[in-house]
Chains A and B, each alone.
Chain A
Amino acid sequence: MSQPDDFGFTEEAALLKESARKFFNEKFTADVLHNMVAGDPSPDRAPQVQWDEDIWQQMVDLGWSLLAVPEAQGGVGMPLVGVAGLVEELGRAAFPCPLLSTLAASYILSACGSEGEPALTEIAEGATATLVFADENGSLEPKATPIGVSSGNLDGTGYFVQDAGKVSHLLVCARSDSGLSLHWLGTDAAGVERTQDSIVDLTRDQAHIHFNNAQAQQVSADASAALEQALPALWTLYAADMVGAGEWLLQTTVDYVNARQQFDKPLGFFQAVKHPLVDVMVMIDQAKSLVYNAACAVDCEPEMARQYAHMAQASASDMADYSGSRAVQCHGGIGFTWECYVHLFFKRQRHSQMLWGDGPWHRARLAEIVIDAVA
């Protein structure tokens, strides 16, 4: 199979992206974000879950949380390129919400066959969810899951769980005698205890979750296969988020260096400032093109999806780091302060960069495909 020349980015997708940008521009500018999440600068502040549930409810009403749920389960079944467009705008706004986690869970559930359908129907009806699979070392291999399952009951502790304080449901990768399986349960189920992590990124929340004989519904008896199929979509969306956040950092920094004068010139006059910001722009554009290329592969060229998703993540992770570091550096002294909004996006980018594997990790996996696999 091959890709349509325009990535399959339809008018409908363009409309969604455009309206998402308008939505966040109107309701959620950086100063609103700062007021919401940056009230307490203390480095040893207690973990908090800070977000705006009213705005989130409006997003749910717009149907954004069920975009990845197939039509048969009451969702929209939108192609990934369209969803990526929305997530790019979400990243640009750095809006704290469980959208990314829920979309990711939807792709995994969609790869679970009929067993996953009831959970997808719940998402279509407003449930939100996040994946639990990492051990205390943050391993990116699902087979390292620290959670055991026996007779449908979960035991153990899952780490680095994203949006844990905002979601209604958990999708848990667990190990049993017969292999890896996936399970679905509410965050308020008996035997589930959540401990929020103290994290750097103010735009997200993260927790570790203890399961003590917690009863859950199995949604797949073959977690490896489902994750294998869904991971390219998930990686692509997290890369799209980094692209959006990178663009915010770039535009904000360009505005600053155009306005700020030193030596009787705007900072942007100096090539030592201008050229690194152009480098950031080029990196963003590479990552962005690779995101839509990967998304389109998931939609239309599945045999290439994994390769292209590794490329999108590798490119976006490197860019996330550089866009954040150049934004702080080019803002100079003010960029180093809490009052300047740049730190919010710097921290979000650093968080995203590591979350699903950084550049070297994805390039190493890519090399296994393109160097080792081909004789």
Chain B
Amino acid sequence: MAEVGQMDTPEQAEFRQSARAWLEDNRPADPIVRLPLTPLEIMTEGQLSYLQAWQKAAYDAGLVGCDYPVEMGGGGKNDCQRIANEEMLAARTPYMPNVIGLGMAAPTVFYHGQEAVKQQLLPRLFSGEDIWCQGFSEPGAGSDLASVQTFAERKGDKWVINGHKVWTSLAHFADWMILLLRTDKSVKHDGLSYFVVPIRSALGKGVTVRPLIKMTGETGFNEVIFEDLEVDDGYRLDELGKGWQVAMTTLLHERGAGDLVTPRSGGMKNKSSHVSNASSLISLAKRTIRSGSTAADDPLLRDRMMQQLVRETGMAASQRRTRVTALQDHPMRLPLQNKLLMSEIAQDTAGIATEVEGAAASLYLADDAAPDGGQWPMAYMNSFGFTIAAGTSEVQKNILGERVLGMAKSK
């Protein structure tokens, strides 16, 4: 595998060194609270405050928003976020809580927001003091996202918003939301507009957040109901009727194919941390006894485990190949595969793991006899969140077929 840092520019090399030095002294102590698998399942204030303190410290150290302009709270550097991410991962830091803000809201506000809004919102987004959520899906608008019905009606300098959003991760802690809605009912895509709207400060004043429970039994995502919420016109992103184009900026970054690198940390081990990858799958199989030998001796399971290892290694190699222009025929061909591959591989790995466990895969979190604490059946169920959210695998294949291979649009 590739060695970290060997292709750094002088600016990146210097930045890497200072990041590494800071992380050596300032990596936070392990939390007292149990952390969920991803920030999208944060359930308690205790979990949130620990993670927010980490994000604020990392931001103050210049590791978050490094590539954004200084006047918006960024670091004003060139392609240094990638370096910060590598160093934070290597230092096994906790993940950051404001994932939707960092990965989706920030690039969207940056490309489409008014200057005043950028300067108002981005610094607290980067520091994690404000948590963000995303209002896209509705009960009647899933894969057909452009059919959203949440409506904003003009009233002088303000807009009055009514509607219903679903699958809204982190809404129960959110200060702000990126919101795709309709300002014109007579046309489909061109009737969409895009706003940032307050959530926490508007609770009970036009905004209601109610938890939805996942098939795993966990909470973490919500439905959000707007009843006559009033918002200033300044919080509109880009022009009226350009909501669809703005949403594409959000989705491109959500799917890991945008041009702004998302600040990302992680790798911290804690007692509940569970990673669905080929190596943890193999380790499980070696510990699982069946018919006198281990599951790792079963030729059919070996083949399936190796398929996962090959796919995983292939995905990592593709991410490297994304940076070698001469080995690509189409610039979006690899980036647009990211989300599809990552979610499908994780799903298959967790699914195989439950087959390795056999009957013991019936045991869930509260059963002391559950292998790996019952995390594999839970990871398998959770994996459907990733193959469905942010554009289902089927939608991803439409996008790849149409944008990269040039096949006719399937709608």
Contact = CB atoms under 8 A, between A and B. Distances in A.
B408 A258 contact: yes
Contact of A278 (B296, B310, B321, B405): B405
Contact of A288 (B296, B321, B394): B321
A287 B296 contact: no
A3 B405 contact: no
B351 interface: no
Contact of B408 (A268, A282, A371): A268
A336 interface: no
B313 A14 contact: no
A128 to B, nearest CB: 28
A271 B303 CA distance: 30
A22 interface: no
Q: Is the interface of A mostly helix, strand, loop or mixed?
A: helix
A323 B324 CA distance: 24
Interface in A276-320: 277-279, 281-282, 285-290, 292-293, 301, 304, 308, 311, 314-315
A332 interface: no
A295 to B, nearest CB: 11
A304 B1 CA distance: 9
B299 interface: yes
Interface string B256-288: 000000000000000000000000001001100
A2 B317 CA distance: 14
B397 interface: yes
A20 B156 CA distance: 65
Interface stretch (B22-30, B98-106, B112-120, B332-340): B332-340
Contacts of B318: 285-286, 289
A269 B408 contact: yes
Contact of A3 (B2, B296, B326, B398): B2
A5 B333 contact: no
A7 B333 contact: no
B185 to A, nearest CB: 28
A2 B2 contact: yes
A6 B397 contact: no
B314 A3 contact: no
Contacts of B314: 285-287, 289-290, 311, 315
Contact of B405 (A254, A265, A290, A304): A254
Interface string B11-46: 000000000000000000000000000000000000
B211 interface: no
Given A289-B317, A371-B286, A14 B303 contact: no
B400 interface: yes
Given A2-B1, A5-B6, A266-B407, A274 B313 contact: no
B38 to A, nearest CB: 24
B1 A3 contact: yes
B306 interface: yes
Contact of A290 (B310, B334, B409): B310
Q: Which 3 interchain pairs have the tightest Cβ spacing?
A: A268-B407, A14-B326, A289-B317
Interface of B: 1-3, 6-7, 282, 285-286, 296, 299, 302-303, 305-307, 309-311, 313-315, 317-318, 320-321, 323-324, 326-327, 329, 333-334, 337, 340-341, 394, 397-398, 400-402, 404-410
